[in-house]
Amino acid sequence: MQLTSTAFQNNEKMPSTYTCDGEGVNPPLTWSDAPEGVKSFALIVDDPDAPSGNFTHWTVWNIAPNIHEIPTDSVPPGASEGITGYKKSGYGPPCPPSGVHRYVFTLYALDTVLDLPSSTQKEELQEAIKEHVMSQATLIGLYQR
């Protein structure tokens, strides 16, 4: 499975549009080569370089199996978003205090549809999907203020 963005290449700088220095909207994402039999997709975006430890910027799950992209500033129809490190749901834009940070977008192809509340945090999502991951793909964007 492959995860890409038309906004930036893997391990390259993310445009400020998708950060707290710009519009703060999610970048466009596209994926391909998902395994057969996928029931849903889930996405986790986090920053392993945050001073307080790994910081969650976005969680989305129950993305329908026929969807293969998330346009800028949108959530796929029927998908659910969880709570980020900002203590709210939705895309939390990168806003690193200093230095270059890596923003890791990980897409999971799942063999199930999840029954999770909107109050779900990343760790709970990871626990819910761990026995259901058929494939995964990662895209890393870099950003420094």
- Positions of the chain with pLDDT lower than 70, given as ranges: none
Residues whose CB is less than 8 angstroms from the CB of residue 125 and which lie 6 or more positions away in sequence, other chains included: 42, 44, 59, 61, 82, 114, 116
Q: What is the pLDDT of residue 52?
A: 86
Q: What are the residues facing 135 on neighbouring strands?
A: 109
pTM, full prediction: 0.96
